[in-house]
Structure 1
Amino acid sequence: MYKPAQWRFQFWKVLSILMLLLLSVAIFATEAKAQETCLQCHGDVGQKIERSEHSFLSCTSCHTDIKGYPHPKGASLDKKESVATCSNCHKGQIADSYGSSFHGKAVHLGSEKSATCADCHGAHDILGSDYPNSKVAKANVPQTCAACHEQASPGFAEGSEHFKFAPSGPGAPMYYTAKFFTWLTLIVITALVIHIELQLYHNLRTILRERKRGE
């Protein structure tokens, strides 16, 4: 037999679970209604999303700034916002490796020409690389890259993306290249500082020597 205190605990426990279930249903219904509203105008986009890897997401999962219709000016995501939106889910190595890449650094510095996640993977028609019609399928990579790199060759498909900078694996060449230039920069700056100090020391000794001669 449960004691009164245990009954109260069980009651609030069951009530909390029911409240969470009701809240989940309400959120799902709201998302479904919002999605239905979006598809009244963006039906073609909705069809692409349904066939994509993101079919479980709603429009407002990515377009978080859109709360109603008509859309505010600038509703389309800019480069930085686009990357930040993708990084909300794709954290860790994927986001870090993009941020360390030439594309990621350029976007971070304000470039409007450098590629974002959507430029390579697509925006509403994202498919895994094992799908033949995916933008990042090996056979399609040169064409995808050619959107920015006019001279993109089949060799573009041989490169590795989203690799970890490490002493071994696909990221090893970039890892050692970065290490080399880091040390080269430090050595050159150190040598330059030493050279300047020696030159100043030499000039000071010359001035002092000439003063002694003048006396």
Structure 2
Amino acid sequence: MVQLLIVGLLAGGALAQKAPEKLRDSVAACLACHDDKQLSVQLRDGATMSLHVDPQGFLHSVHGSQLVCTDCHARYEENHPSGATFPSRRAYAIASYETCKKCHFDTYTRTLESVHYELLKNGLDSAPICTDCHGAHNIQNPHEKRAMVSRSCASCHDGVYLRYAKSVHGKALEEGGNQDVPACADCHTHHQIQAPGTTQFRLGSPQICIRCHGDRQLMAKYGISATVAQTYLSDFHGVTASLAGGGALLPQQVVVTCIDCHGVHDIASPRLMGGEAMKASVAATCAKCHEGASPAFPAAWLSHYEPSLRHAPLVFFVQLFYKVFIPFVVVGLVLQVLLHLYRVSLGR
């Protein structure tokens, strides 16, 4: 016990480098026992739960310099309750996680509107809670380690994560450390996660993509067109999505959104696919709705580029002609009517 106390005091001294004086003794007192890797408690279901806390993990966590143990474990005094208080490890976690709302109340209330909380409320104890995603004593800043967010999701959604890790977004983040590409929470949000299979999510998916692909500065960095939103919303597919969002169409009348063509978690890079492979992929995608579409069918689509001298020059000149011709005709007709009225007035 003396050795444990010494270890605990040393750990407390390490924490004191970042913590005020009053935190040192409190944390050290707890670590005197909880730095023991063998420390555990038996729960009512017979399972053994470790009570070990890694001093360095806590020290380098976001809470290491701000909180003491009793800020979260307020009801645990010198005589701790026995493990028999909890029927299982999961029951303990669920009973304890609401402690987070003392500091993170706004965030906690957003989780109450998520699909995860809905599952938990309906009796699915395995539905994720705060500590499943963020950890308990070694919580890191998710904004600094964005890849960690997706790996956290992988603990439940491993199949989805494997597809994401092979996608153009996942490879850039996981292998290249690119902080510009989206992780899971950028599309699904962090806490107010909605069921992705709903019509509401599908109709809102273009807005998710536009956050990045409509950012001209960001897209210019990678040589990608930033007119995705404009070109999508101006074609037939985008117009139907806009009308449905405004209530003018029924949701089932929406033809195509971004995810229908590009996929969801397995999005590929057109550049890496190569020209012929990309054409074949687009043709196969179109054929899902347009039965009997030939391999040349997608050639009628301008992709996500506005007509220009470089992209679809013929369409560009036709548009330019009508931009000049239509105003000329309208102005001419108005002048003709005005001149006719003037002539009539003179005749009187």
TM-score normalized with structure 1 length: 0.64
Q: CA deviation at 1:72?
A: 10
Equivalent in the alignment of 1:96: 227
Q: Is the 8 A contact 1:165 1:175 kept in 2?
A: yes
Equivalent in the alignment of 1:63: 188
Q: Is the 8 A contact 1:107 1:116 kept in 2?
A: no
Q: Is the 8 A contact 2:227 2:305 kept in 1?
A: no
1:122 equivalent to 2:263? Answer yes
1:36 equivalent to 2:159? Answer no
1:1-215 equivalences in 2 (<5 Å): 25-27=140-142, 32=148, 36-37=152-153, 39-40=155-156, 42-55=157-170, 56=173, 57-64=182-189, 67=191, 77-79=201-203, 81-90=204-213, 91-92=215-216, 94-100=225-231, 101-103=234-236, 106=239, 109-111=242-244, 113-129=254-270, 130-131=272-273, 137-158=278-299, 160-166=302-308, 168-206=309-347, 208=348
Could you report, residue by residue, the CA deviation over 1:45-81 in whole angstroms, capped at 9, with x for unpaired residues? 22321221121343211112x51578599695343x3
**Paired residue type of 1:32:** M
Counterparts of 2:209 and 2:263 in 1: how far apart (Å)? 12
Size of the aligned set, in residue pairs, is 181
Residue 54 of structure 1: SS of its match in structure 2? helix
**Paired residue type of 1:170:** H
Q: CA deviation at 1:120?
A: 1.9
Could you report, residue by residue, the CA deviation over 1:79-107 in whole angstroms, capped at 9, with x for unpaired residues? 3x322222222233523155135157526
Counterparts of 2:149 and 2:341 in 1: how far apart (Å)? 75
Q: Is the 8 A contact 1:97 1:164 kept in 2?
A: no
Q: CA deviation at 1:164?
A: 4.7
Q: CA deviation at 1:31?
A: 6.8
Cα RMSD over matched residues?
A: 3.8
Q: CA deviation at 1:30?
A: 8.3
Compare relative contact order (CA 8 Å, sep 6+) and give the higher one, 1 or 2: 1
Residue 182 of structure 1: SS of its match in structure 2? helix
- The alignment-based identity, stated in percent, is 25
Q: CA deviation at 1:179?
A: 1.0
Gaps of 5+ in 1: 1-14, 16-20, 209-215
Residue 115 of structure 1: SS of its match in structure 2? coil
Gaps of 5+ in 2: 1-17, 19-59, 63-138, 174-181, 217-223, 245-252
Equivalent in the alignment of 2:92: none
Equivalent in the alignment of 1:6: none
Counterparts of 1:43 and 1:172 in 2: how far apart (Å)? 46
Counterparts of 2:158 and 2:339 in 1: how far apart (Å)? 72
Counterparts of 1:58 and 1:97 in 2: how far apart (Å)? 20
Residue 169 of structure 1: SS of its match in structure 2? coil
Counterparts of 1:97 and 1:149 in 2: how far apart (Å)? 22
TM-score normalized with structure 2 length: 0.43
